């Protein structure tokens, strides 16, 4: 099975989520309460010890105003 190549310098989505959580200005406690996530799960995720379910990622993305943009879409946006 062929897997797409990861472009040089791109961070994994999980790392981008961790950075967005840290940059949000919201406490992890508040984020957990807003999305219904146990604080222990958040701690393990932030330490890189576990992942999150897609439903949790959806709630987190909605709370923080996040979305996924492909590299090609990001390049189109740079020229604006």
The domain that holds 73 is classified in CATH as: 1.10.260.40
Is residue 59 assigned to a domain? yes
Could you read off the pLDDT of 9-43 as tens digits, one per residue? 789 999 999 999 999 999 999 999 999 999 999 99
Is residue 4 assigned to a domain? no
Residue 53 belongs to what domain range? 14-78
Beta strands in 1-80 (DSSP E): none
Cβ burial, residue 34 (10 Å; 0-12/13-18/19+): middle
Is residue 5 predicted with pLDDT exceeding 60? no
End-to-end CA distance of the chain: 37
Is residue 1 assigned to a domain? no
Contact 76, 66 (CB under 8 A): no
Cα separation, 39 vs 43, in Å, equals 6
| pLDDT value of position 3 | 55
């Amino acid at each position: 099975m062929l897997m797409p190549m990861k472009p040089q310098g791109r961070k994994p989505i999980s790392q981008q989520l961790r950075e967005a959580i840290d940059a949000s200005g919201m406490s992890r406690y508040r984020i957990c309460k807003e999305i219904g996530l146990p604080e222990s799960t958040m701690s393990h995720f932030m330490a890189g010890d576990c992942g999150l379910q897609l439903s949790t990622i959806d709630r987190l993305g909605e709370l923080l105003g996040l979305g996924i943009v492909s590299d090609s879409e990001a390049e189109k946006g740079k020229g604006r």
